[in-house]
Amino acid sequence: MSKSLKIHEVDRFSGQVTCLAHVANANKIVKQKLTGRQLEMFKKTVFGPFLDIELVFNNPLIHHMLLRELKKPGIDSISFFVRGKIITFSNDDFLLITGLWRSHTRVRRSEESSQELFTRYFCNRSTSDAFHLNLLEEEYKKLAFENDDDAVKITVVYYIEVAMMDKNKQKNVVDRILFDDLKI
């Protein structure tokens, strides 16, 4: 394979990689909030494996590796040029190294696309009000779920927005489409 970097060395500029994802804090809150049964249901979703991972984000290392990423046509792998060698990780390699695994349970939206969950649990917010991530986090901690399915569905939305997405909690608004009657 020829060495063709995604970001050519002449195009690089100094910068700082930041991470606003809050996986460790979200894991703590989810484990405190959900009952044992709800926690087991959540662990069967695609985000379940992250609950047992102590994730430490090393900003300089990630930045260093991304500057060495190679252009490669394979969609299920990523390659880097490090110390004169090409290192390629497939999707399965990544899952093996990180200790994650493929989830057999998929979270899907229903075709009806309603905001029933949002309305039921966050009705104190009008549709015109901005519902920022910090409000989702505060409200999530206080919620009294009507059933286990609702608990898992709202936890999936919470996990997507707070733990997985690199967003500023005070500035970014919750994507209400995520509340569209999730099927678990």
Cα dihedral value 50, 105, 29, 181, nearest 10: 140
| Alpha carbons within 13 A on the beta-carbon side of 127 | 5
- Which pLDDT belongs to residue 24? 82
- Tell me what the mean pLDDT of segment 131-146 comes to: 88
> Rounded to two decimals, what is the model's pTM?
0.61
Residue 4: what residue type? Answer: S
pLDDT per residue as tens digits for the range 35-54: 999 999 999 887 888 888 77
Residue 33: what residue type? Answer: K
CA-closest candidate to residue 133, choices 162, 94, 166, 176:
162
* Mean pLDDT score of the chain: 76
Check the CA dihedral 96-98-104-106 and report its sign.
negative
How many other C-beta atoms lie within 10 A of the C-beta of residue 18? 10
User: Which segments of 28-130 are extended strands (E)?
Assistant: 77-82, 85-90, 108-109
Is the pLDDT at 119 greater than 60? The verdict is yes
- Which pLDDT belongs to residue 25? 84
